[in-house]
Structure 1
């Protein structure tokens, strides 16, 4: 019999407020956390807006040495891990650390730290050959994304499988999917799984400026992210981390854990087509959805809500709208869809885990978060995108999807605990 995997703890570091409570308040109220960039002078860039976190690591118990050692993305990961483990009620001392593992997703690794330290060792770009004497002793930890998994493992005392998953903007979903498989196959009983990215830096803004993927709507940052709207013109870069504590169902039940949801199905596909381009028919995403539904033993008409990738680029929004129609058929027109990127921006590899956290909370609260800033829907995007205002609804089965540069397409299905444990 296949081991079943459930979510028992949630931790979130996201724009607009730190922690699960503030995160859900922002989403359920339809508020936006996008603003003009404050981390550096954005004047030279085409896009000068982002979704930043007002995060001060020392206020969360990180001492000077840890702050110096860890990139910002690693710091976000450690704080969110603490919240998720506490939320799960898991007694780390009472569980075998060798049966507890870690998966961390990240699209761009320690971008912030590397960007900052390059400025130092190059004397703000004036040196053709960098001077290693000015490099901190832990700079290598910024260079290798595996340091993120190591930090989370240390923070949670986890000595089982430890992995970094990097598949662009689907990293957050794929990290969770990998964790689910480790539990199902018996390699672990508990997984601390999620994804982190802190990419708001000059080099990242320059990269997305070059391909015009981010919005130039700098005069109205609060309303700059407009998924599915006729006036959308690119995504808003964000940052963040979300951690989910995953457990084998039977073990979670025996310890009396609160079970948020079961991860019933997961699948990933690649279009093998273009680094940034998407086929308009959404075939690869639709295939990932179909396989995830099959794994969860659900029919298309069973889905109550879709958490869309919804980046706010014209290409993506049309692509996944087509994928929903292709995979769900007529039921796509009856299924509420929304994008939380309209409120917290696009945190690249981290967003998939953040969106799963949003789905878990939506199921627990029976509330669908809205697509903020959606006033004039694109004619080709003709589904129910829950514009502006949250909607009350019982959610038993939820689908979340992700799309990443390189052609990655991932889908995950969550089901309500009452159904799982009957």
Structure 2
């Protein structure tokens, strides 16, 4: 079995369009949540979102390329370009051994809305000719593989808000079992438009708070829903043998992965926490460690009433009494909930946390819910040595996905 390491990371996010600016925002408690600017949201009842700012596709794509992509694909290509450049991997040497497992939970929602509006206003014959290839969810992965010549397996794993974490986990297994030498893995999403906001608002999943500083507040007793975010988070994974052979800089190691289904409810988790809890246990067992070895958990922590209390129960289910001894934080106070891309951007945060020995804060947490009684690192990050960290992603439909990361110590 191959060991699997991370040699590149890339992101486009509400708090920075590259890893350096993203991490600078994380460590300095800067939030990307603000008033919605992409469209007139007055009639939706939702005031704030975590939008990507000042994104320039020309930095990584020519005009012909990006004009044939929905925004979610553009974000994915830009983040993948950063990850590949950081890795220094030469895909041309063996392109069929390099995969692309990049998820989108929803796909090209911007172009879906635009195309339907055009059809209604001007008739079916005016639907854009590239409507389908710009909107289908697999085109995030497809455009990345085409841009960089990765000819190995290319997949869009759709498990709602667990999508990117599942893609990283499945890429990890493929490299571990010798099916690939390297792989782009993560997620990308661009759903801040009228139908995206309206759809989640109709589900009463979004925060109606008009104050950007108080809209996303994971684990807080006054939380009232999540804040929609957008962007992409991509890891470049490869076998340890491959990385060492070419003298690559290794950023961190993926050592465990657990995934299962609650088989319970469309949106609510199992009340006893056993679904996500068993996924955490599986990831820990695959890593060959015990619950007591976990130093940090990056929680799914959406700021919805059901998720945050349910995830707390699941963490206790998996870690027992040790759950009270470790710091747990949600990144969604910084950059909102990126839906299918959430686990990808959060994986980038974990890699940096392992490297820097820094635990990011849970922004917006002022008064913890009585049912959320663990150490959620409220409002200020901490310097702390981290060797093993878990990343939780929990999706509608009962999808649970958990990754275990290990700091790279040179051996």
- Displaced runs of 4+ in structure 1, greater than 4 A? none
Counterpart of 1:156 in structure 2 is 148
CA RMSD in angstroms, aligned pairs only: 1.2
Does residue 361 in structure 1 map to residue 360 in structure 2?
no
Structure-2-length-normalised TM-score: 0.98
Counterpart of 1:137 in structure 2 is 129
Cα deviation digits, residues 307-365 of structure 1 (max 9, x gap): 00000011100001111111101111010000000110001000001111100000111
Q: How many Å separate the matches in 1 of 2:187 and 2:290?
A: 29
Counterpart of 2:295 in structure 1 is 304
The match for 2:115 among 117, 129, 137 is 117
Q: How many Å separate the matches in 2 of 1:105 and 1:59?
A: 23
Counterpart of 1:27 in structure 2 is 26
Counterpart of 2:96 in structure 1 is 98
Cα deviation digits, residues 59-89 of structure 1 (max 9, x gap): 4243332232100000001111110001112
Counterpart of 1:174 in structure 2 is 166
- 1:239 positional shift: 0.4
Aligned residues: 411
Does residue 289 in structure 1 map to residue 280 in structure 2?
yes
CA contact under 8 A between 2:60 and 2:81: conserved in structure 1?
no
Does residue 372 in structure 1 map to residue 363 in structure 2?
yes
- 1:184 positional shift: 1.8
CA contact under 8 A between 2:91 and 2:98: conserved in structure 1?
no
The match for 2:222 among 219, 231, 234 is 231
Q: How many Å separate the matches in 2 of 1:119 and 1:68?
A: 19
Counterpart of 1:183 in structure 2 is 175
Q: Secondary structure at the match of 1:149?
A: helix
Q: How many Å separate the matches in 2 of 1:310 and 1:147?
A: 28
- 1:57 positional shift: 3.4
Counterpart of 1:76 in structure 2 is 75
Cα deviation digits, residues 222-245 of structure 1 (max 9, x gap): 331000111110000000101100
Structure 1 gaps, min length 5: none
Q: How many Å separate the matches in 1 of 2:367 and 2:29?
A: 17
Does residue 192 in structure 1 map to residue 184 in structure 2?
yes
- 1:144 positional shift: 2.1
Q: How many Å separate the matches in 2 of 1:18 and 1:249?
A: 28
Structure-1-length-normalised TM-score: 0.95
Counterpart of 2:105 in structure 1 is 107
Q: How many Å separate the matches in 2 of 1:88 and 1:61?
A: 16
Does residue 211 in structure 1 map to residue 195 in structure 2?
no
- 1:58 positional shift: 4.4
Counterpart of 1:411 in structure 2 is 402
